[in-house]
A = this chain, B = another copy of it.
């Protein structure tokens, strides 16, 4: 299988260096601010209280990391990055114990089940578990082996972010209003930054993204930090402002893409995509790729979270405790509403993912 045609699409770009990318990123997305391991604890950048607090949650056990992931201390790529660092920590904690492999296996199982919808976390912890086992068999340090692999993965991920950012930036035109949803992280922020550096004036319309307000708390301040004009809206407003002609592009991340082109992302992504379609606005999802183990929408497990989270906002009640509620954390946008998947290979049709597309960061 060759990707020659696709790769030639991006020959026009001089890839950004890792340092260039790091310099363009806002606080939240800088490498060390997502998750790290200092030999004792895993530190996870606390997105739950940002921008009111800019702190880290320190985790001394795998269980601490798992709970941090479950309680949304981090999200997006944060969970897998925190999880693989937790695997390295477990390798140190169980060092020289006969239970080392069993402990790593338990850690892997615990971390894999923290969030059911996004599958990347499972693949990543499985990968580093296998590497650690190999290291143990050949008398190498499993924690070091994992940390070396994390560095490789992150180098690759940020390099790919840079390419996707460049490709996304090319879609943006001077004067565009760009709708997003939730926190589309590095690809999207880079696309906006690169387009702005190229002299394009952009306005980002950011839905607040209830119940956790990732749009209001993470996306809006991060875009403002890199100099993009921001208009925060509530989640009921995208179609209203589309009708006013304010939106020219709709761009989000994707937590998972099926082989047949269904885009799974934060709940709300789908209804914005339907509204965009009705207004002839293209919808692009930035993605690491599709999941070959997820052929179609029937194979997706949508995470339902605690309904009590719907009855409050930043710990303030929005109604009385006895009101029934429902909290699907993600939704599924069928390929007919998706104009393109922005990958490092260029912009792929959601209907064409099965034809020679590699899994990647």
> What residues of chain A have their CB less than 8 Å away from a CB belonging to chain B?
51-52, 181, 205, 207-211, 213, 216-217, 220-221, 224, 229-241, 243-244, 266-268, 270-272, 274-275, 278, 307, 310-311, 313-320, 322-328, 330-332
Contacts and interface: CB of A to CB of B under 8 A. Distances in A.
Given A205-B326, A208-B318, A319-B216, A237 B311 contact: no
A185 to B, nearest CB: 17
Given A232-B307, A237-B331, 10 more contacts: A51-B320, A205-B326, A213-B319, A216-B323, A220-B323, A232-B326, A234-B267, A237-B326, A239-B271, A313-B313
Contacts of A313: 313-314, 316, 318
Given A221-B320, A323-B224, A240 B314 contact: no
A272 B331 CA distance: 15
Given A230-B323, A232-B311, A316-B313, A328 B240 contact: yes
A213 to B, nearest CB: 5
A240 B331 contact: yes
Most B-side CB within 10 Å, residue of A52, A181, A243: A243
B210 A234 contact: yes
A217 to B, nearest CB: 6
Contacts of A220: 319, 323
Contact of A310 (B221, B232, B317): B232
